[in-house]
Structure 1
Amino acid sequence: NWGTALRLPRGSLLPSCKRPPPFFRIREKTTAPCQTMGVPKLQVPTPRSFLRKHSREPKLPQRKDLGDKVVLKPHVPKRTEHPIMGLRCEKDFITANVAEAMMSVAKRPLRACVDVRTGDKFLVDDSGLVKKYLKKKDFGKTPSYIKKRKAEAREAQEAAAARLEQHRARKGLTRLSREERERVLQGLKQSWEQVNRAFQGLSVVVDTVPRRLRKEKMEAQMRQLERDVRALERHPAVYVAGE
């Protein structure tokens, strides 16, 4: 029926806006417990229970009465046991003490040295100032255990060297003797001296290609001879491969 007028609730077409809560309610919600002004519920002390003197000092616990200590009596002797009576020792303690005192060695006092006027002293025997180890039989001698360790190390080194010699002999390597090594070393030094003498005789001005090549060749020879000499001097054992 188009003739009927529509009735809408008042304010339904208007935008609705909520009013913010009061400030005291926000304060109550955001405040955590026990963070307000004082405790919410506090028992107020009575006038009779006021703070007394020495009431907060620590007090010792009351002493408990433990009573008398019970002393345990010895066991009742058996029926077969008889009391020991009338026994006397025949030892003369006076004579024994005199004999022990006569046979004992007198105790020597410790030697001390006083170095200040106030009377402070220190023991001399253990201070390191007395040469009491000089009279020992093994003073200044190598201990036996060190000699044993050195012998074991020498034997192990000789065994390792022998195994290495066998291994190199199987590969065809021959060790040069001391005389041969010295002879080779002297030959290398003489060769270096000859090359150096020829190098010193070169012209100072190197203006042609042959002169430059000759100078570079002689420098290379001298460097190689120096490396060989250093290698022989550094290594006493030199091995040469077989032909």
Structure 2
Amino acid sequence: MPRRYHSLQRKIVQKDWDRKKSAHKTMGLPKVEPPCPKHHLLKHSKEPKLPERKPYKVPVEGITTSIPSDKPMMGLQTKKNFVQANIIDVQMLVPKKPVPILVDTRRGNKMLLEPSGLLPTLLYRKDFGKVPDYLIRRTEEEKKAQEDYDAYVKERIRQGSMKMLTEDERNSVLSGLKQNWAELNHAYQSLSILIDTISKQNHKERLETKMKKLEQDIDKIEKHKFIYIPQN
């Protein structure tokens, strides 16, 4: 049987380990003198002690005063009628306006009426009912843009590069688009209920795309009374 391996540094490591160990770390030393019962912990003994308070003395030396040394004359009289002056002050006093309050419970709890939200304070604003400045500015910009567009269209018509559709031409185009949509709708309604092949699905999607495009064109023509088309 082979011998077990033993490190050559085993003794050194054990010695170092024993040196770092602290005996009786948790339980204390085996022989410790018990504390004296006369030196028990007293109340407030660990609180910091303040220095002894001494009476404060006002320093008198070196202080200068602005009070005149001459004694004031006693027994001065005035001719002012304080009673009459008080009556005039009370007569000229503006009475305070009562603050409106709101009693919201039967126990008489009060609160100010103005911040309660029950008064139409927005109606009393100085700018109430006036059109805001940004709306006026936006209206002017839209008006100017429309004027520029009308001038551009007139110039293109004068040059012969643009033509406006007449009422009959517009109605004719509109009726033609509606007729095309009706034919596509009839073909769409004639489709089989079961779409089980790729060709049927593609055919259905093409019909839906064409019908949607015709609906957009019809909606544009119905919304705009004047329609301009370029000329070659």
1:20 correspondence with 2:14: no
Paired position in structure 2 for 1:151: 136
Is contact 2:100–2:112 with CA below 8 Å preserved after alignment?
yes
What residue number does 1:95 align with? 84
Please tell me the root mean square deviation across aligned C-alpha atoms, in Å. 5.5
Contact 2:177/2:218, CA 8 A, preserved across alignment: no
Aligned pairs, how many?
A: 201
Partner of residue 187, structure 1:
172
CA distance in 2, matches of 1:231, 1:34: 99
| SS of alignment partner, residue 10 of structure 2 | coil
Residue type at the aligned position of 1:21: K
Q: How does 1:98-109 map to 2 (within 5 A)?
A: 98-109=87-98
- Larger Rg over CA atoms: 1
Identity of counterpart residues, as a percentage? 17
SS at match of 1:54: coil
- The one-letter amino acid of 1:154's match is T
Deviations 1:166-223 (A, max 9, x none): 677679875858x75x962x3333113434369859xx79xxxxxxxxx99xx69964
Change (3 A) 1:221 1:156: closer
Does residue 74 in structure 1 map to residue 65 in structure 2?
yes
Report the CA distance between 1:95 and its aligned residue. 1.2
2:225 is the counterpart of 1:240 = no
Unaligned runs of 5+ in 2: 1-6, 192-202
Give SS of 1:122's match. Answer: strand
| Runs of 5+ consecutive residues of structure 1 not aligned to the other structure | 1-16, 206-214
Cα separation, partners in 2 of 1:49 and 1:30, compared to 1, 3 Å: same
Residue 111 of structure 2 aligns to a residue in which SS?
strand
Which protein is richer in helix relative to its size?
Answer: 2
Judged with a 3 Å threshold, the aligned counterparts in structure 2 of structure 1 residues 108 and 129 are, in CA distance, closer, same or farther, namely same
Question: What is the distance in 1 between the residues matched to 2:160 and 2:53?
Answer: 100
- Tell me the distance in 2 between the aligned counterparts of 1:236 and 1:193: 17
Superposition TM-score, scaled by structure 2 size: 0.53
